[in-house]
Structure 1
Amino acid sequence: MSVNTLPVTTGEALAVLWQGWQAQATGGLTASWMLHGRPGIGKTEIVQTLATRAGAMLFDLRLTTIEPQDLRGLPYYDHATQRTIWYRPEDLPDDPAQPAVLFLDELTAAPPSLQPTVYGLLQERRIGRHRLPDTCFVVAAGNGPEDGAIAYDMGTALSDRLIHLSLRATAQDWVENYALPHNLHPAIPAFLRSRPDLLETTAETLQRGQTIACTPRSWARVSAILHAVPDRRLRDVMIAGTVGEAPAAEFALVLADITASLRVEEMIAARPAEAWALYPTSLHGLTALTYALIGAAEEGTIARIIALMAGIGQLHRHRDDPALRALPLAELCTHGFELLLQKALARGWQAQFAASPDWAAYAKSRAEAGL
């Protein structure tokens, strides 16, 4: 069955859950949430980020690895009272003073025999006599049968206990809300800016009868490979085994261009007049440079990063290369500054921006152009 709700990006889903967390904390809404999405789209990362932002302890239950009694607990016969007492499992939150997120992962892959046990957690927020504290936020996640994953259709008794979020992957959202905050290799967002269709290819891969698909999770793994494996031939084999042969071959060409031209550390250390010669001159190289500069921005380097970012828009005036005039330098500069500003606002670097003559000159030129 399809999930008949509005599709949301992973960034939007995090914003919705954060609003739900705040609403529950004030007593305005107590609900359980369900994240639907293809494998590797980022469901687990959303919940982990939510718990970190809220300062909550994360209880991560993989429902495909447990039995009903693992949630219900074990019975113990009390001879004094002639009653059976249930010892609850330690995997459930019970401290009312400790904010918690209970994550029921792989809900749609859990065997049907387990689902009635989960009903109480999702609706009444209890199992047997054990009740979840009011400070516990409940989120479930799962794939659908159409995603090529092991999954059961969700019955109405289960679906009616949840607020459903249907996730979709977009390159822009993933780059801004995951790749940049996690300092992924700049070649990856640069590549996906030109090939956003290769961020997530599960449906197409299944139609072709192939095994390996591109997913946000697999691209994050490619970044780890790039940072950890220096041997290019072995690295290419690993990347092909992560995202598939055809995407890996296309990415390798972009990576070679970027690797040959990206010299961020040298640019930061160089004197302003010397930095012009260090800028890449290809579109992929300059795109990667914008992301690399954002990743390199720290409180001690932000002033220099602002100057180098502004330089992208002025590069054609300082390099005698006709090909540069055909590139969207102003667009790249603006895109880079938008993302750099987001990082600066999150880190409290507004004063550095206000004091930068390069930012002032860039802002003035934008205003004069009516932008």
Structure 2
Amino acid sequence: MAINTTPISAGRALEALRTGFAAQAAGEMTVSWMLHGRPGIGKTEIVQQLAAETGARLFDLRLTTIEPQDLRGLPFYDHDAQCTVWYPPEDLPDDSAQPAILFLDELTAAAPALQPTVYGLLQERRVGQHPLPASTFIVAAGNTVEDGAVAYEMGTALSDRLVHLSLRAEAGDWIENFAVPQQVHPAVTAFIRTRPDLLDTTEDALRRGEMIACTPRSWARVGTLMRAVPDKALRDVLIAGTLGEAAAAEFILIAEDIAATVQATAMLEVEGLERLALYPASLHGLTALVYALVTLADERTLGAVIEVMAGIRELAGKRDEAAFASLPLGELTTYGFELLIDRALANGWQEAFRTSDAYAAYAAEREAAGLA
């Protein structure tokens, strides 16, 4: 069954959930939400980030691993009242004083026998006689049959109880809202910026009958492998087992070039001609340098990071390589400073920009060109 709603990025879905959480906290709206998306697109990460931002306690229930009684609780005979009462499970929120997020993951893969119990949670916000606290925010998530995942078609009785958000992978959104904040390895981030079509290849892999596909989750895992596995031969095998052979081969070539040319840490420790000689001469290398600089930036290094970032725009005039003339140096510098300023503002480091001669020169150039 098609999900007939407007597809949105993971970042926009998080914005929607933020709005819903705030509206529920203000007593303006109480609804249940459903995140649809291919495996690995970031549904779980969205809910985890919402919980981290709001300070809510996260109750993460994987519906494929539980039975109806795990949600319903267990019966107990009350001899005084001469009736059966139910003890609610500890996996459900029961503290009205603390905001909570109840995450019903893998909803579409849950056994049909479990769905009536889930209906009560989603629509009536209770299980049996156990009501959820008013501060509980409910989000469900699942895949579809078309995604190649184990899934049941969602019936109208369940669908009608939800606000549906259909997620799609978008490279720019993934870089800005996940890869940069989570400090994914610069080689991965740089590669996806120049090959956004390889962020999610699930549909192509299914069509070709291949088991392994690129997903936002698998690229994040590749970033971990890049840092955790020093043996290159072994690392290449593991990357192929994460992305598939074709995508891995292309990424590994670019990653080797980046590893050979990007020396971000060394650039922060030298100045002048010595620093100028360390700039990589390829688009992949410069893009990786930008992400590496943003990752390395802290209160101590920010002044040097600003100088190195500002130097990118001057490479065509200061280095002899013809390759620089065809590279978008100004655009890359501006993009890098946007990321760097966001990081500085989030950490209270903005004073470094006010006192930086390199940034003042960059800003003056943009103003003179009518770009400020």
- In the alignment, residue 49 of structure 2 is paired with which amino acid? T
1:33 pairs with 2:60? no
Q: In structure 2, what residue type is equivalent to 1:30?
A: T
Count of aligned pairs: 371
Hey, what's the Cα distance between the residues in 1 that align with 2:134 and 2:360? 49
Q: Percent identity?
A: 64
CA separation in 2, counterparts of 1:169 and 1:53?
22
Question: 1:50 offset after TM fit, Å?
Answer: 0.2
Q: How much has 1:345 moved relative to structure 2?
A: 2.0
Q: Look up the SS of the partner of 1:165 in the other structure.
A: strand
SS of 1:230's equivalent in the other structure is coil
Aligned to 1:181: 181
Q: Secondary structure at the match of 2:29?
A: coil
Confirm whether residue 280 of structure 1 aligns to residue 296 of structure 2.
no
Q: Which residue of 1 aligns with 2:343?
A: 343
Tell me what 1:331 maps to. Answer: 331
Matched, 1:42 2:42: yes
Distance 2:14 2:308 in 1: 32
Q: Which amino acid aligns with 1:97?
A: A
Shift of 1:335: 1.3
Deviation at 1:3, TM superposition (A): 1.1
1:22 aligns with: 22
**Whole-angstrom CA distance in 1 between matches of 2:217 and 2:297:** 25
Q: Which amino acid aligns with 1:337?
A: F
In the alignment, the residues of structure 2 paired with residue 15 and residue 46 of structure 1 have an alpha-carbon distance, to the nearest angstrom, of 10
Correspondence for 1:112: 112
3-state DSSP of counterpart to 2:33:
strand
CA distance in 2, matches of 1:251, 1:9: 24
Tell me by how many angstroms 1:273 deviates. Answer: 4.2
Q: Secondary structure at the match of 1:184?
A: coil
SS where residue 94 of structure 1 aligns?
A: coil
**1:126-153: CA deviation from partner (whole Å, max 9, x where unpaired):** 0111111111110000000000000111
Amino acid at match of 1:2: A
- Tell me by how many angstroms 1:239 deviates: 0.3
Q: Secondary structure at the match of 1:113?
A: helix
Matched, 1:76 2:76: yes
Matched to 1:293, the amino acid is L
Q: Which residue of 2 aligns with 1:102?
A: 102
CA distance in 2, matches of 1:160, 1:103: 18
SS class of match (2:166) = strand
Q: Give the Cα separation in 2 of the matches to 1:107 and 1:358.
A: 53
200-209 vs 329-338, greater mean Cα deviation: 329-338
- 1:301 matches 2:283: no
Q: Deviations over 1:155-202 (max 9, x none)?
A: 111111111100010111101111111111100011111110100010
Distance 2:240 2:264 in 1: 27
Match of 1:212 in 2: 212
Partner of 1:194: 194
Instruction: Name 2:259's counterpart in structure 1.
Output: 259
Q: Which runs of 5+ in 1 are unaligned?
A: none
* Corresponding letter in the other structure for 2:31: A
C-alpha offsets along residues 309-367 of structure 1, whole Å, 9 cap, x if unaligned? Answer: 11111122222222211211111111111211221222222222222221111111111
Matched, 1:367 2:363: no
SS state of the match for residue 59, structure 1?
Answer: strand
Q: Secondary structure at the match of 1:19?
A: helix
CA distance in 2, matches of 1:23, 1:356: 42
Rounded to whole Å, the distance in 2 between the matches of 1:245 and 1:64 is 31
Q: Matched residue of 2:113: which SS? A: coil
RMSD of Structure 2 on Structure 1 (CA): 1.0
Secondary structure of the structure 1 residue equivalent to 2:77:
strand
Residue identity opposite 1:266 in structure 2 = A
Runs of 4+ in structure 1 over 6 Å off:
none
- Superposition pairs for residues 111-260 of structure 1, below 5 Å? 111-260=111-260
**Which amino acid in the other structure matches residue 236 of structure 1?**
D
TM-score by length of 1: 0.98
Greater shift in the superposed pair: 327-336 or 264-273: 264-273
Deviation at 1:98, TM superposition (A): 1.1
Residue 53 of structure 1: aligned partner: 53
- The one-letter code matched in structure 2 to 1:12 is R
Map 1:304-319; keep pairs closer than 5 Å. 304-319=304-319
In structure 2, the partner of 1:290 is 290
Counterpart in the other structure of 1:7: 7
In structure 2, C-alpha distance between the alignment counterparts of 1:23 and 1:80, rounded to whole Å: 43
Q: For the residues of structure 1 that align with 2:146 and 2:333, how far apart are their CA atoms?
A: 41
Q: Measure, in 1, the Cα distance between the counterparts of 2:352 and 2:6.
A: 40
CA distance in 1, matches of 2:299, 2:137: 35
Letter in 2 for 1:139: V
Q: Which secondary structure does the structure 2 equivalent of 1:24 belong to?
A: helix
